[in-house]
Structure 1
Amino acid sequence: EGRYKFDQFRLNAYGLGDVVRSLAIARFCRILGTLLANGVPILQSLRIAKDAAGNKVISNAIGEAAESISAGKSIAHPFASSGQFPEEVVEMIAVGEEANNLEQVLIDIADNMERQTNRKLDMFVRMLEPLMLLLMAAVVVFVMLALLLPVFQSSGLL
């Protein structure tokens, strides 16, 4: 219960949530695609890939999808109804399922999501660097004032 709430918080965190979601879905898609490409049955693959997602909220959505598939429904519908998977991912999964090319589509989804996530992280780091420089400058100015202000006060210059 605590882990679920923490993972839900991480998914809803401003800025960080998209990155966490993308990484978890990319990890899930890569594992599921690899398992399916190697002939593992889809229900067993979903159970294995569910644990590999690394996020309880997304794992629960995957578990519901596995139950839905065992009831004879398509794989894309439960992902869409969970609200945890982006619409374009659900559409690509639906197309891959209809075209009987699901394993390759899942690997392509993982590649695309990892590329997008790396771009977002690079942009975040580029934005963080100037902020860190400003913070360091503020620390240096504070230290200089803390050291020099008593000297100026004792000499009567202030």
Structure 2
Amino acid sequence: MIRRYGNSPRRGQRHRLRPGAYALLVRDGRLLLTHQSRPEPEFQLPGGGIDAGENGLRALHREVFEETGWTIGNARWLGAYRRFAFMPEYGRWAEKLCHVWLARPIRRLSPPTEAHHSAHWASPPDAMELLADPGARAFLARFRALI
């Protein structure tokens, strides 16, 4: 059973399944996070939706680069969780199936290419305070010993 974090599904509201790939990116005891300034400012684990025809690991590499400008290596799948959320950029409700990997940032090639994103380094305790998603915080707490 995949654990759910955050809000329950809205009764009577259709939620479209949206699988995604996200990463705990660890280097020198710090985590690389992304800050999305719009539509709502929040710190997040780098990652995002898995596109049609794309596997999770490929999506992870693409999304991390778009949101941070970094390449990654040594990705190891940790697990998955669900959350129900409104996605304002798509104008719809979604059941997000969030697959989480542990990976190492290798090289910064550019600033983030995705609009309204910026890359930030944080200590694990600071990341616990900054991350908006309770599922992301739960994975950080669960796998903190690996950092």
Higher strand share: 2
TM-score interval, normalised by the smaller of the two chains: under 0.3
Higher helix share: 1
Higher alpha-carbon Rg? 1
User: How does the TM-score come out when normalised to structure 2?
Assistant: 0.26
User: How does the TM-score come out when normalised to structure 1?
Assistant: 0.25
